[in-house]
Amino acid sequence: MTRSRPDGAPPWVLRLERGEDRGLFAEDGAAWTVHAGIPTLVAGIRALLLQALHPGAMAGVHDWSRYSEDPLGRLSGTVRWVLSLTFGAREQVAAELGRVGRFHATVRGEYDAADGSRRSYSAEDADLVEWVHLAFTDAFLVAHTTWGGPIPGGPDAYVSEWETAGRLMGVTRPPVSVSDLHARMDGLLAAGTLCGGERVDDVVRFLRTVPLEGSLRFGYRILFEGAVATIPREYRRLLGLRRSWLPAVTATRLVLFVAQRALGTGPRAHDMARRRLRRLEAAECQRPAS
């Protein structure tokens, strides 16, 4: 059984303070800025919606994921992967890639493609890994540009930096600019690779009504509508979704503000990473000049 400290931080977050290198991404660079921001709460919902549009990726979620029984558990696994790669030392990155890779090696089966053919799939298939990377990158970028602050180097810098994560997960040629990212996504849409259907409808219904209570349920519903509001019409049509008549973008900004204050001052992933970097810098300063 894993234990966290009384402040609630899980062990993998605490490990971000350890390690003897600066990790994959520059401190306060594009990836750091986007993944440390509160708009990631919306980005996660948006990414899951978009990922469901690839029938192969959807089959993996349907056949192997525990999202319907333990949605928060599945989400925490995704968060762990993102933040470990972004803020961890290379040893922790390698361990996280190994954890995800061992699971993906077991994920395989068959699905009905958009053209009606029956196809086999593996979570390691290049086309599935690429779509997951594209949907993730677009979701986190759009969420931050909608509700976050400036990105160092601009949106292209984020896509270019996060290309590293795509390559590590097996994407042959990840996009390195926003125009490239959107061209890849729209190309799959135009080719008829993406589609809706009963399984997509199930995911949409579940994500719309994640079992939360009280104010959390109300806040989450607004975040869901905010995510939908940022999805282009062509993709919303496949998802069977329409924009709310409510001012979802403004309401989401208010919910994110409240959520930011509610998180308090406990140790966050980027705070633990900064501790590691300050330790490494202090050790460098103490070394005698050669």
What are the pLDDT digits (tens) for 183-208?
A: 999 999 999 999 888 888 988 988 89
For residue 26, which of 274, 275, 289, 279 has the smallest C-alpha distance? 274
* Residue with token string 């989400």: 75
For residue 157, which of 30, 23, 24, 25 has the smallest C-alpha distance? 30
> What is the spatial distance between Cα 105 and Cα 119, in angstroms, rounded to a whole number?
18
Higher pLDDT, 122 or 7: 122
Amino acid 122: pLDDT:
67
> What is the spatial distance between Cα 280 and Cα 27, in angstroms, rounded to a whole number?
13
pLDDT at 69 over 70: no
pLDDT at 251 over 50: yes
37: three-class secondary structure by DSSP: coil
Higher pLDDT, 283 or 112: 283
pTM: 0.90
Amino acid 102: pLDDT:
84
How many CA within 13 A on the CB side of residue 183? Answer: 7
> What is the spatial distance between Cα 108 and Cα 266, in angstroms, rounded to a whole number?
39
Which of 55-59, 65-69, 79-83, 185-189 is most confident? 185-189
pLDDT at 8 over 50: yes
Higher pLDDT, 63 or 195: 195
pLDDT tens digits along 133-156: 999 999 999 999 999 999 999 999
> What is the spatial distance between Cα 147 and Cα 249, in angstroms, rounded to a whole number?
8
Instruction: Return all residues near 241 (Cβ < 8 A) that are at least 6 apart.
Output: 49, 204, 228, 231
